[in-house]
Amino acid sequence: MYAVNLKLIKEKRKEKGYSFRKMADLMGFNDKAKYYRRETGEYKFNPEELPVVAKILGIPISKIFILKVSKIETKKEVSK
């Protein structure tokens, strides 16, 4: 299972010196809270928003995703 690499998004945003307001504006949101909630994981990014975030921050789209191992999968591996 894959998850959005929120840590990388946050790091790249800070490297570029973009505020939450700037990212919200670049993404076409009328409120910075809409972007903030996504970056912090309170809400999930919509699939169509991820290529936009990647382009704004100069991140290859493949780097936006990280492999997420569930606790159940980890337990299965340990018990083998």
Structural domain of 30: 2-79
For residue 1, the model assigns a pLDDT of 85
Q: How many CB atoms lie within 10 A of CB 35?
A: 25
CB atoms within 10 A of CB 12: 18
Give the chain's domain count: 1
Give, for all 80 residues of the chain, the pLDDT tens digit: 889 999 999 999 999 999 999 999 999 999 999 999 999 999 999 999 999 999 999 999 999 999 987 665 544 544 45
Contact 13, 23 (CB under 8 A): yes
Distance CA 40, CA 16 (A): 18
First to last CA, the chain: 20
- Could you tell me which of 15, 6, 77, 80 has the C-alpha nearest to residue 41? 6
CATH of the domain at 52: 1.10.260.40
3-state helix, strand and coil shares in percent for the chain, rounded to the nearest 5: 60, 10, 30
Q: What is the pLDDT of residues 55-70, one digit of tens each?
A: 999 999 999 999 987 6
